[in-house]
Structure 1
């Protein structure tokens, strides 16, 4: 009986830990549609555009997890309004997989206008990509 209780407690603790990810306003995901799997270990840089100076400012840089996701860009308690750019560094991913590709990196520019959560995924192949506002 005790192992069962331990399993329940561990599960509840895990749920609480993953729920903390909701404290972030921006997430992204990469799916390699040519293989039907998440693109893991892809570096992604986030920048914010300053309309006055017309300069991009570095916000952060992360690497996709085993599910091809980054779920913790932009803490929700901050004022995250404005134009942002995610740069997906895909060249190393394709080289590591010994695949010739056309796009060394992909830039996706979008605007955050409210406090809602924004999910900006891409579907990726060696010679194409697509993006959309996910949920």
Structure 2
């Protein structure tokens, strides 16, 4: 049993379209304290900083959450990742060029509730036209 008075958060991204980690994705962390936005008791979001995914798709240096945090938001800037991936693919195989369609999900924002003393690992499973998340371990 943890005796910490704050929750902690970690994440990683797997690009399911290629079965590999998504490297170079900027991830920003925000937190708020108090109730939920629906009950009118939630505080304002506080930007805490961010990180960039490494070669394993992991952010190993996300900022710590402040005491009293009840909700966390992870913002993943996935558009630059997919644009680079598309540019690399076109360079490698020009005959397979796409129609130049924009990225369908330019960013992914995940908001979740936390309890002091708990660790929350929130992986993002990503592909060009969809994503899913879950509470990992």
Name the TM-score, length of structure 2 as normaliser: 0.72
* Alignment of structure 1 residues 96-115 onto 2, 5 Å: 96-98=84-86, 100=101, 101-115=103-117
Structure 1 counterpart of 2:58, from 51, 64, 69: 69
CA RMSD of aligned residues (A): 2.1
Structure with the higher strand share, 1 or 2: 1
Runs of 4+ in 1 over 6 A off after TM superposition: none
Question: Helix, strand or coil: the match of 1:97?
Answer: helix
Q: Could you list the runs of 5+ residues in structure 2 that have no partner in the other structure?
A: 1-6, 35-40, 88-100
Name the TM-score, length of structure 1 as normaliser: 0.73
Q: Tell me by how many angstroms 1:106 deviates.
A: 0.2
The size of the alignment, in residue pairs, is 111
* Alignment of structure 1 residues 1-135 onto 2, 5 Å: 25-51=8-34, 54-75=43-64, 79=67, 81-98=69-86, 100=101, 101-135=103-137
Structure with the higher helix share, 1 or 2: 1
d(CA) in 2 for partners of 1:131, 1:87: 12
Q: Could you list the runs of 5+ residues in structure 1 that have no partner in the other structure?
A: 1-23
